[in-house]
Amino acid sequence: MPSSIAAGLAGLTAYGAAYPRAQLFGPTLCRTGAPNKLAITFDDGPNPAITPKLLDLLAKHNARATFFLVGKFVRECPEMTREILARGHALGNHTDTHPNLFLCGPQKSEEELKRCADAIRLAAGVEPRWFRPPFGFRSPWLSQIVNRQGMRTVMWTRIPGDWRGKPAEWLIKRMNPIAENARRKLPPRTGYGGLTGDILCLHDGNHRHLNGDRAHTLSALEYWLPRWSDLGLEFVTMDETFSKTVEA
């Protein structure tokens, strides 16, 4: 195979595997159905150090979110998993051990999703409808596995990088585009037309271990939640936006 073709195929594969809005390896949900609907999502929990504080903060601002949980942590924190659901939030599947699924074969990938779904069902009594691949990486066979297990893949429009452990001030600035979008897309006394809203990817845990420090994520949301609300944004779960969600 000529090197130019090989390079092109490699680039296409990388695009399909990692780009959030790519549909090459199957459909993904990347936006909500209306610009005033903001879907806040959290990966890598539940996390005893942050998740309870986060639930209190979300309740204070009448904000609902979707939590993509890691199965091994669900088994260690079943009561917290039930609490997330009881507070009105949606539960999603983020695999059992958080591997890079692009490097996993079909059997390993299926086991990762199934074990996480089993953990959520045993802890909270519900089957997860939503799936997010660790690191956002997908494979050619992942979409069929997700469909077979009755889920849909959720990616994002905004991922500010809160796993990097930067100060809260840095993260607050990185989350400003959501406010900019709200100001641009929600002019007074006009309809929304065909515009769509953001899905924000944050992290309430650390996939390597429990009790990861995500205090900066909490602080950034303490800053932004009231301001986003003042701009007219509504905070919805993936369940709530499902019927209006568009693929992008």
Catalytic residues: 43, 203
Nearest-angstrom CA–CA distance, 42 and 201:
6
Question: Are residues 131 and 153 in contact, defined by beta-carbon separation less than 8 angstroms?
Answer: yes
Q: Are 235 and 38 in contact (CB under 8 A)?
A: yes
Tokens of 90: 């949606």
- Which residue, 73, 65, 67, 66, is CA-closest to 115? 73
In the chain, count of helices (H) and strands (E)? Answer: 10, 7
Q: Which DSSP string corresponds to 77-96?
A: -HHHHHHHHHTT-EEEE--S
From the list 68, 37, 65, the residue with the least C-alpha distance to 228 is 37
Residue 167: other Cβ atoms inside 10 A: 10
Q: How far is CA 18 from CA 14, 65, 172, in A?
A: 6, 24, 25
